[in-house]
Amino acid sequence: MDYETLVASVTGLLLGEPDIIANAANFAAFVYHELPELNWAGFYFPNAAGDLVLGPFNGRPACTRLPRGRGVCGAAFTQRRTLVVDDVHAFGDHIVCDSASASEIVVPLERNGEVFGVFDVDSPRVARFSDADRHGIERLVTAFVGAVGTSAVPRPV
């Protein structure tokens, strides 16, 4: 996968748009359509209680709320690090939103030392995400966070 080109493309796609919801929507659509073998790509943002609430995504309708610290998303958010799960059925605390999902990567969104959400990508293939994919998807997310600039981040209820 040519992540170098994808990072350049997505940076151009988001350029000049300060609205985070608009950019999150286009970013999710971009990733979903540009990377092969995905069944879901999208965002979760924390509310005041620390639960993760569904944001813009592409794929089938998903769980709207993930309880604080739960699931792969909650673990990545709490631990402030990317998590790659090769086989979601072997991950004890995985939360099933789409039964087609077999592997998953979750990247925290970090700005000014604060984690303000996660970007979650699911695949129907076991072990879909290699180290190169992890690095590439982290670079794509860095481009997204860079485009957020100084605009307010979502604070769902």
Smallest separation (angstroms) from ligand SME to the CB of 101: 6
| Local structure of 76: helix, strand or coil | helix
Residue 45 near ligand SME by CB under 6 A: no
> Contact, 54 vs 41, CB < 8 A?
no
Q: Which residues does 17 contact at the CB level (< 8 Å), separation at least 6?
A: 23, 26, 147
Q: Is 120 in the site for ligand SME (CB under 6 A)?
A: yes
Measured at CB, which residue is nearest to ligand SME? Answer: 71
Name the one residue in this structure whose structure tokens are 């925290």.
108
Between 51 and 144, CB nearer to ligand SME = 51
Query: Encoding tokens for residue 143?
Result: 């481009």
Task: Indicate whether 51 belongs to the interface with ligand SME (CB under 6 A).
Answer: no
Residues 6+ away with beta carbon under 8 Å from 79: none
Token readout for 53 is 């609430």
Shortest separation between residue 76's beta carbon and ligand SME, angstroms: 8
What Cα–Cα distance (Å) separates residue 134 from each residue in 29, 48, 120, 128? 18, 29, 12, 10
Question: Could you tell me which stretch among 13-21, 67-75, 109-117, 136-144 binds ligand SME (CB under 6 A)?
Answer: 67-75
One-letter identity of residue 21: I
**What residues between 72 and 101 interact with ligand SME by CB under 6 A?**
72-73, 94-95, 97, 101
Candidate list 7, 25, 29, 62; residue touching ligand SME; CB under 6 A: 62
Is the Cβ of residue 94 or residue 128 nearer to ligand SME in the bound state? 94
Interacting residue ranges for ligand SME, rule: CB under 6 A: 40, 62-63, 66, 71-73, 94-95, 97, 101, 104, 120, 122
